[in-house]
Amino acid sequence: MLKNITLALAIWFLVDWAYNEKIKPFLKTELETESKTESKAEIKIEISQPAKDTLKMKPLSLVKNLSLKDSVTYGLDISHYQGDLITALDNKKDSLYFVICKATEGESYIDPTFESNCNILKDEKVIRGAYHFYLCEFDPIDQAQHFAKVVMDDQFLNISHLPPVMDIENSSMDTNCGDLKTAQHNILLFLKEVEKITGRIPMIYTDKSTGDKYLNTPEFTKYALWIAAYTKDLTTSNIPSAWDNKWMIWQRSDSYSYQDTNFDYDVFNGNLLELRKFIRNSIAKNKPVN
């Protein structure tokens, strides 16, 4: 009987020793290794996603020869030519900060997608803006009043969004514009009338050729420049001379492809905080002098 008890105790001590000294340390090591492997995999997933988003918000080759910015704020401009493309855009997924919509043209035309674009953008947390395609054969005051009425009636324009934009292109300025002095006078009339009605200092959209021909005097530089230049790198050779290389938005491409549709791709000259500062500074402090 004593022999059996002694044998049983010896076996129990042997099993206990083997478990604590061999089996338990082995299991602990294996479990810790597996846990660390899983933890690293989880950390890799968590880190890789923001890194990818950061890259999306920083397109390459931006403003290399004019200024260097620590971040990029970009968006698009849109009209009826893109159909209902805006309904497919995800401002969070596509890192979209602002959308500028065509509102009006001439004295009576309203872009057929403007109202629907307004409704969509009002529901999105994206800065918005509106532009008027200027036609010199029509009265500048009538055009300004038409534009201002449309953007204000739709409550599209308010102090938290981009200022109204005057779109001036070579196709806007045909032989009916009169001489250069008259054409420039009428452009300024439009800008001052928009400022008076909306309380916002407008922007000017143009390109180098049009700007150097029609906007070549200091009076126009009061208005921030949205420059059209379809090039990899924006340089001083792309900016109308009156602005002395200063610009606010760069329309970098008119053929940026999204879901088999092309639209205009834009870059703001600064980060998001600078964009909001620009918007605040576009609020007119005094009524313009007629």
Residue 42: the pLDDT is 27
Q: How far is CA 237 from CA 22, 66, 125, 209, 215, in A?
A: 76, 11, 35, 11, 16
Which has the closest alpha carbon to 220: 279, 168, 269?
168
Which is more confident, 185 or 66? 185
Mean pLDDT in residue range 166-182: 88
Q: Grade residue 157 by pLDDT with cuts at 50, 70 and 90.
A: confident
CATH 3.20.20.80 fits 60-281, yes or no: yes
Q: Grade residue 158 by pLDDT with cuts at 50, 70 and 90.
A: confident
Q: Grade residue 234 by pLDDT with cuts at 50, 70 and 90.
A: confident
Q: Is the confidence at residue 235, as pLDDT, over 90?
A: no
Mean pLDDT in residue range 116-136: 85
Domain map of the chain by residue range?
1-56, 60-281
Which has the closest alpha carbon to 81: 39, 125, 117?
117
Which has the closest alpha carbon to 211: 186, 241, 191, 233?
241
Residue 90: the pLDDT is 52
Rounded-to-5 percentages of helix, strand, coil across the chain: 50, 20, 35
Q: Grade residue 153 by pLDDT with cuts at 50, 70 and 90.
A: confident
Q: Are 146 and 170 in contact (CB under 8 A)?
A: no
Task: Give dist(CA 17, CA 58) in Å, integer.
Answer: 61
